[in-house]
Amino acid sequence: MTDSSVPPGGHRSGRGPRKRDDKRRSGPPRGRQGPNRPPTGDPAREAALDTLRAVREDAAYANLVLPALLRERRISGRDAALATELAYGACRAQGLLDAVLGACVDRPIDGLDGVVLDTLRLGAQQLLRTRIPPHAAVGAAVELVRARAGSRPTGFVNAVLRKVAEHTEAAWVERLAPSDDLGRLAFTHAHPRWIAEVFARALGGEEELTELSAALAADDARPAVHLAARPGEISAEELAAITGGEESPYSPYGVLLTEGGDPGELAPVREGLAVVQDEGSQLVALLATRAPVDGEDTRWLDLCAGPGGKAVMLGALVAIEGGTLDAVDRAPHRARLVEQATEGLPVRVHTGDARELALPEAAYDRVLVDAPCTGLGALRRRPEARWRRLPDDVTELTALQRELLRAGLERTRPGGVVTYATCSPHPDETAAVVTAVAAETGAEVLDTPALLPEVPDTGLPDGAPGIQLWPHRHGTDAMYAAVLRKR
Ligand SMILES: C[S@@+](CC[C@H](N)C(=O)[O-])C[C@H]1O[C@@H](n2cnc3c(N)ncnc32)[C@H](O)[C@@H]1O
């Protein structure tokens, strides 16, 4: 199970999610523009528009809304691919599209009617970031807004999109981008400036603008889909042969899918022999098993396990050792997902706060703390997230991250190891947490890149502890991990 398939419920996926929204987010959008509107004969753009509305009005997650909507409306094949490209593309590029639209409209675009704004974003996305011919993009937008809001806004939508079409994306960037290098790169690759600053810090400073440009570009592209073979059940070679994919470059369990389509429908996934999981997550689970420990190595603990992607791999690997894994999650629905994902493995699932749960102290040989984080390393998978996250989200999370890492160390026996991981490269959530907790507790931070020697270029700048994976370097999410030994 990838982090992308995670039903959002933790802190990682979106700003201040309200629990009661989870159900609504996972279903197709309803309401004014819901099922009763007249069809336009353009199911792909209608689905994309409904997704943008749900994201804007309900703070929904595009990667949950759209698939549900495609299923419900039985949209498949080319229409499904087009709906996905347009909806996710418009969400990803929202800041850039809004800047261009703002230059074409003589009033603040925030004040526009919601349907009109969504239609304009969708139209601008097609004009600037796809190969759809301009007349087709503008015509489709006009028909869409006519079907949703009547004929009144059609002239306005037509006129604004014609202005957008006067320049290419590159020419708009030339006109509108901030003049400083970092601001320009952020604008060019449709990222908020603060996130570009965080990436620059994680890469070692603003001097390295070529690498920052590559990082932002890779983060703006759709991610590849990887499967993880369940250790002991099927090899990556067999899985690749069955699925027509390719063995992943680094993970011995990984398969890169080369064909489109719903990976959940593949036979090995349906039969529980493989899960959809980014190669970076596979490498973090693998890393957690790498540092040698003296003596027994059969009691493992996954303190933040939901929805269970890494718990499946750890459970399968500890089974081979004849051991057991305790898996904890605070959110009951995510703990249930861990139970489902690890069925048949020697895994006991506990629901509760990892900081308080009555688990044995100083008892585990290996512990994984895959902490809730901003998810800035998996923005490729959450199309709208980069515009929803705020710099302040980090402060709230780092206190929890430190407490969870401390809780992990308390449960570890002397000589045992704890792997701390985030799917964020934000230095405050990664090396800073590890350095502070190691100093407080006396834990030894191990040379983590040396534990994963087959993956190149994982070291952090200035000798900071841990490994950092990157989409532009490794083709994975930007996962961070560090291994500590309890003294
Ligand atoms: C990054 S996700 C874990 C992903 C998981 N390891 C996987 O590979 O599928 C973080 C998880 O921590 C859980 N969580 C947050 N605070 C927690 C706490 N205090 N105790 C236990 N779990 C917590 C969230 O519910 C979320 O499921």
Q: What is the ipTM of this complex?
A: 0.99
Confidence band of 32 (pLDDT split at 50, 70, 90):
very low
Task: State how far the Cα of 480 lies from the Cα of 425, in Å rounded to an integer.
Answer: 6
CA proximity to 144, closest of 275, 51, 28, 40: 40
Nearest CA to ligand 1 atom 7: 309
pLDDT for 35 equals 43
pLDDT for 127 equals 98
Of the listed 91, 104, 373, 423, which one is catalytic? Answer: 423
Q: Evaluate if residue 24 carries a pLDDT over 60.
A: no
Which SS3 state, helix, strand or coil, does residue 418 take? strand
Q: Evaluate whether 441 touches 369 at the Cβ level (below 8 Å).
A: no
Task: State how far the Cα of 27 lies from the Cα of 177, in Å rounded to an integer.
Answer: 37
Q: Evaluate if residue 78 carries a pLDDT over 80.
A: yes
Q: What is the mean pLDDT of the segment spanning 128-144? A: 97
Q: What is the mean pLDDT of the segment spanning 64-74? A: 95
Confidence band of 38 (pLDDT split at 50, 70, 90):
low
pLDDT for 8 equals 31
Residue 107 contacts by C-beta under 8 Å, 6 or more apart in sequence?
Answer: none
Closest ligand 1 atom number to CA of residue 338: 9
Q: Tell me the percentage of the chain whose pLDDT exceeds 90.
A: 88
Distance 216 CA to ligand 1 centre (A): 27
List the structure tokens of 95: 């800041």
Q: How far is CA 358 from CA 328, 407, 410, in A?
A: 11, 11, 12
pLDDT for 13 equals 32
CA proximity to 376, closest of 204, 251, 200: 200
Task: State how far the Cα of 349 lies from the Cα of 342, in Å rounded to an integer.
Answer: 9
Among 330, 353, 357, 368, the mutation site with the greatest number of ligand 1 atoms within 8 A of its Cβ is 330
Q: Evaluate whether 223 touches 278 at the Cβ level (below 8 Å).
A: yes
Q: What is the mean pLDDT of the segment spanning 145-156? A: 97
Mean pLDDT of the chain, nearest integer: 91
User: Any catalytic annotation for residue 373?
Assistant: no
pLDDT tens, 250-286? 999 999 998 877 898 899 999 999 999 999 999 999 9
Q: Is 355 in the pocket of ligand 1 (CB under 6 A)?
A: yes
Q: Evaluate if residue 471 carries a pLDDT over 90.
A: yes
pLDDT tens, 419-462? 999 999 999 999 999 999 999 999 999 999 999 999 999 999 99
Distance 262 CA to ligand 1 centre (A): 26
Cis peptide bond N-terminal to 307, omega within 30: yes
Q: Is 325 in the pocket of ligand 1 (CB under 6 A)?
A: no
pLDDT for 1 equals 32
Q: What is the mean pLDDT of the segment spanning 208-218? A: 94
Q: Which of 157-171, 198-212, 389-403, 431-445 has the lowest mean pLDDT?
A: 198-212
For residue 28, how many other CB atoms are within 10 A of its CB? 22
The CA angle 443-419-315, to the nearest 5 degrees, is: 135
List the structure tokens of 374: 């901003």
Q: Tell me the percentage of the chain whose pLDDT exceeds 70.
A: 92
Q: Tell me phi and psi for residue 443, to 5 degrees.
A: -65, 150
Task: State how far the Cα of 446 lies from the Cα of 435, in Å rounded to an integer.
Answer: 11
Q: Evaluate if residue 7 carries a pLDDT over 50.
A: no
Q: Which of 7-16, 215-224, 379-388 has the lowest mean pLDDT?
A: 7-16
pLDDT for 426 equals 98
Distance 345 CA to ligand 1 centre (A): 20
